[in-house]
Structure 1
Amino acid sequence: MVFKFKIGFFTDVHGSEYSFKRSLNIAKARKVDFLIVSGGLMAKEILFVEDTGGKYFLNGKKVNLNNLNEEALRSGKYIVVDKKEVIEDIKSDKSKLEKVISEKVTEQMSRWVKIADEVFRLERIFWSAGHGDIPQLDSILKNFGGKLINENVINIEEIQIVSLGYGSPMGNSYREIPDSELYIKGKSLLKDADKERLIMNFHMPPLNTKLDNAKVGLRKSHVGSKAVLDLITEFQPLISLHGHVHESTSMDKIGETIALNPGSLYQLGDPSIVTFEVHKELKSFGSVSVSKYIIKNIEFVSTNPLDVV
């Protein structure tokens, strides 16, 4: 007897509505049963456009506002249009800037939850914020009906998913903690997990693997987390899902665990999603039945003929 279902996973869309919608469309076209949308949801950049009475300027250069808005949807940026004095006031006041960012994130997530429900099915989508996402993002998504799984253990079709969005310190992100603390938080979540049916969804990739090779200056370096590597080695989940390092689209093995990073092409507005099947194989030995979960048919998808913006 064989039982199976398909999971889709994408991460680090960073405010790109094109990338988000196209990844959803691929999940639908690939007939995914459940979808995990992981960390790096909000945009990394905010553009302040000066309104001079019908003419618009960005950094002193005249711009077409319609074109700029369209490009922002593609590459993932928030746009604030206002008078020069208002913009300068926002920039000079941290609390006002944070309020504007929160409003922009709320506006976008309201739209994204509706899109997710229309393209896919909201009740089959699970959201997990990452270390670049504002702390309010969790409550924002919950208020719009999103199922949050960050810092939690959930069950999907007999499978356990353990999620953690914290990242190693970078000095400019909202949810960064020392690697030692990341290990403690992760172990606390995993301590009662059943590794025979476990999926780890930790935003940081494991250190010194194919998943964490980032370009730093003119060289490539491993920038992942030793804590995450140690936790995978210790708990040996069926599969572990990661992001953060956009250019490291890859699969690796850590012991018996398959580790995946779908990467990110958000700046181009392109999708980057990985799908896989969870099979439950039941074998009978006389009156005794033994079940085993297996990961099969892993597929990385960046483009697709059915991928429609």
Structure 2
Amino acid sequence: MVKHHCRMVFKFKLGFFTDLHGSEYSFKRSLNIAKSKRVDFLIISGGLIAKEILFVEDIGGRYFLNGKKVNLNNLNEDALRSGKYIVVDKKEVIEDIKSDKSKLEKIVIEKASEQMSRWVKIAEEIFRLEKVFWSPAHGDIPQLDSILKNYGSNLINENVINLEEIQIVSLGFGSPIGNSYREIPDSELYIKGKSLLKDADKERLIMNFHMPPLNTKLDNAKVGLRKSHVGSKAVLDLITEFQPIISLHGHVHESTSMDKVGETIAINPGSLYQLGDPSIVTFEVHKELKSFGSVNVSKYVIKNIEFVSTNPLDVI
């Protein structure tokens, strides 16, 4: 019988969070947790931008939202917490913006750009930019990629990157819901995913696909009064086929969980962005060397997975 023993060659720690939808509180708190957990690298996945714009009427220095008088400071604070963009202007300007699709889009681009310039600065202060990877996804405007690039951030969506000895393959497209950016049919998602993965090295592969795999613990959404599986068959098939060491997902905010697809650990940290709360998962990638007599075989394994939703060290 051949004796074998195991020793660790290296390890590093990754943090992953997703679906911030414009919540500044959620973003800062997740970053602080990543720092307190001493992660080496961080992946911030989409949707990054807010889903909603609040139009506030300025009537002689008094402010009204949907006809109700509001305190602008409180409203701004709430918007930073729950992830909304605010436009303050005269009634006729607001009507004009609302009735013109291109003006509305211009506002979204402006607001997203303003927010990302802050977020990238904050990420640089708390970490260093080369340790933070951004992966825009479903719900993010197409212009977001160039906005983030202009601020000097590492963009990894629709790409294969090497990190230490690990490969990360990222794809942000989601299933069609009819009103979102970056949505494609599942059949196309499979083709795009497959072409990104075709040269991947399964032994050291991390998949970062925004859509969760279908019929798992990761894709349970509330539809009306009941829960149903809303994940992607394409993503499930790709994980089954390529068997990465871990796969990272989002999209279904209420489905914070971990599951196995074959040998692959699949994870969805979920999102509590409306509350301004953090949702982040951290884990370690270990490279172990197994010796079988005179033969050494290396293997990458995932250890110490931790889901963190709140933390006493949260500082806003």
69, 89, 107: which one aligns with 2:76: 69
Question: Residue 32 of structure 1 aligns with which residue?
Answer: 39
The C-alpha deviation readout for 1:173-195, integer Å capped at 9, x for no partner, is 00000000000000000000011
The C-alpha deviation readout for 1:161-215, integer Å capped at 9, x for no partner, is 0000000100010000000000000000000001100000000000000000000
128, 136, 140: which one aligns with 1:133: 140
Q: Aligned AA for 1:218?
A: L
Find the aligned partners of 2:122 and 2:61 in 1 and give their Cα distance.
Answer: 31
Find the aligned partners of 1:279 and 1:250 in 2 and give their Cα distance.
Answer: 22
| Structure 2 gap segments, 5+ residues each | 1-6
Asked if residue 217 in structure 1 is aligned to residue 224 in structure 2, the reply is: yes
49, 52, 63: which one aligns with 1:45: 52
Q: Aligned AA for 1:87?
A: I
Find the aligned partners of 1:38 and 1:120 in 2 and give their Cα distance.
Answer: 16
Find the aligned partners of 1:190 and 1:141 in 2 and give their Cα distance.
Answer: 24
Find the aligned partners of 1:255 and 1:283 in 2 and give their Cα distance.
Answer: 22
Find the aligned partners of 1:232 and 1:49 in 2 and give their Cα distance.
Answer: 46
176, 179, 194: which one aligns with 2:186: 179
Alignment of structure 1 residues 55-94 onto 2, 5 Å: 55-94=62-101
Asked if residue 14 in structure 1 is aligned to residue 21 in structure 2, the reply is: yes
The C-alpha deviation readout for 1:96-152, integer Å capped at 9, x for no partner, is 000010000000000000011111221100000111000000000000011000000
Question: Residue 301 of structure 1 aligns with which residue?
Answer: 308
| Structure 1 gap segments, 5+ residues each | none
Asked if residue 251 in structure 1 is aligned to residue 243 in structure 2, the reply is: no
Find the aligned partners of 2:236 and 2:264 in 1 and give their Cα distance.
Answer: 11
Question: Residue 145 of structure 1 aligns with which residue?
Answer: 152
Shift of 1:262: 0.1
Partner secondary structure for residue 246 of structure 1:
coil
**Which runs of structure 1 show a deviation greater than 6 angstroms over 4 or more consecutive aligned residues?**
none
The C-alpha deviation readout for 1:193-250, integer Å capped at 9, x for no partner, is 0110000000000000000000000110000000000000000000000000000000
Shift of 1:283: 2.4
Question: Residue 98 of structure 1 aligns with which residue?
Answer: 105
Partner secondary structure for residue 27 of structure 1:
helix
Find the aligned partners of 1:231 and 1:286 in 2 and give their Cα distance.
Answer: 35
Find the aligned partners of 1:120 and 1:83 in 2 and give their Cα distance.
Answer: 40
Shift of 1:10: 0.1
Q: Aligned AA for 1:43?
A: A
**TM-score relative to the length of structure 1:** 0.99
Question: Residue 120 of structure 2 aligns with which residue?
Answer: 113
Shift of 1:53: 1.6
Partner secondary structure for residue 283 of structure 2:
strand
Find the aligned partners of 2:290 and 2:138 in 1 and give their Cα distance.
Answer: 42
Question: Residue 234 of structure 2 aligns with which residue?
Answer: 227
Shift of 1:265: 0.2
The C-alpha deviation readout for 1:42-75, integer Å capped at 9, x for no partner, is 0000000001121000000000000000000000
Shift of 1:308: 1.0
Question: Residue 241 of structure 1 aligns with which residue?
Answer: 248
Find the aligned partners of 1:216 and 1:130 in 2 and give their Cα distance.
Answer: 22
Shift of 1:286: 4.6
Asked if residue 165 in structure 1 is aligned to residue 172 in structure 2, the reply is: yes
Find the aligned partners of 2:303 and 2:128 in 1 and give their Cα distance.
Answer: 23
Find the aligned partners of 1:94 and 1:140 in 2 and give their Cα distance.
Answer: 20
Q: Aligned AA for 1:158?
A: E
**TM-score relative to the length of structure 2:** 0.97
Partner secondary structure for residue 300 of structure 1:
strand
Asked if residue 266 in structure 1 is aligned to residue 298 in structure 2, the reply is: no
Find the aligned partners of 2:278 and 2:127 in 1 and give their Cα distance.
Answer: 15
Shift of 1:287: 4.2
